Amino acid sequence: MWPSDADLVRRARDGDPAAFEALVDRHYPDCLRYAFRMLGDRADAEEAVQDAFVRAYRSLWNYRERDQFRVWLLRILANRCRTRAAAARRRLRHLEAFAASVDRTAVAPQPNGGFGRAVQRALAALPVEQREAFLLKHVEELSYEEIARITGAGLSALRMRVKRARERLAALLEAYRDD
């Protein structure tokens, strides 16, 4: 029988590095999927996930067993994704301003590269709060209560974010299909 996350956390706190490695192995794929959908770039996603696991390891003593480890870890990862996304937006604004000052055509949109790219493009167009809530609900399949613990938002606000994200995604994907 596989040890529970709580058992692995206890062992990791007691100094067993293999226990934390087992937690990483167990949760890395879900974390990477979430981070990639949030950030839209595999390298950024991998860095965010690695950073989240480092922070989780350093904060194991903050973990309370009444929380699910996965939810606690995703809360850390969501914060890392928000930070990376904000930094990426700042970098992009600087690059766009520079490119526009040199050549107006440098910032023109690129042609759509297929359905997967359309979905990623539509996700990227959502406000961060909507994208985060949508991904946690529909990709990570968390309950609204778990999402609330991750984001700190209220249940009604989360339901509205998910609803608005679905509506906006549908409209964006329809528009991309017509392109």
Furthest-apart CA atoms within the chain: distance in Å: 62
Enter the tokens of residue 131: 């994208």
Nearest-CA neighbor of 34 among 114, 150, 115? 150
> What's the predicted TM-score (pTM) here?
0.66
Residue 4 pLDDT: 92
Question: For position 139, what pLDDT does the model report?
Answer: 81
What pLDDT does residue 116 have? 65
Beta carbons of 116 and 76 less than 8 angstroms apart: no
From first to last of the 179 residues of the chain, give the pLDDT tens digit. Answer: 789 999 999 999 999 999 999 999 999 999 999 999 999 889 999 999 999 999 999 999 888 877 799 999 999 999 999 988 887 676 556 545 544 544 333 333 444 444 467 777 888 899 999 999 998 998 888 999 999 999 999 999 999 999 999 899 888 888 877 66
The pLDDT of residue 138: 84
